[in-house]
Structure 1
Amino acid sequence: MTEDYLKNYRILGIQPGASWKQLRQAYKKLVNVWHPDRFQQNVRQKKQAEEKTKEITQSYKELADYYKKFGALPLPLEEQLPPVIEDRGRHVTPAEGPPADIQFHEPASVAPSARTPKFQLSKRRARVLAALALLGSIYFIWQIVPWSPQEYHHSTEVNDDPEPNSGHEESSSEEIPAEKYFRIGSSLGEVYAIQGVPTKTENDVWYYGNSKVYFAKGKVFHWDENTDNPLQVDIFPGLEKANTGFFGRGSTKDEVLVAQGKPDRDAGSVWDYGLSRVYFEKDRVTRWHEAQYNPLRVRN
Structure 2
Amino acid sequence: MTDETDFIALYGTLRVDPQCSLDDFRLAYRRYVSQWHPDRRRSPNAQRLATSRLQRVTAQYDAAIAFQRRHGRLPGAGRVVPPSIPDARRTRPRVDSVRVPRIRWRGWLTALTTGCAAAGTVLMTTLPVHVTESSAPADARGSGAGAAREVVPDLRRGMTSDQVWAIEGEPTKRGGQHWEYGTSWIRFDGDRVEDWYSSPWQPLHVASEHAPR
Which TM-score bucket, shorter chain as reference?
A: 0.3 to 0.5
User: Where is the strand percentage greater, Structure 1 or Structure 2?
Assistant: 1
Name the larger-Rg structure: 1
Give TM-score, length-normalised by structure 1. Answer: 0.29
Give TM-score, length-normalised by structure 2. Answer: 0.39
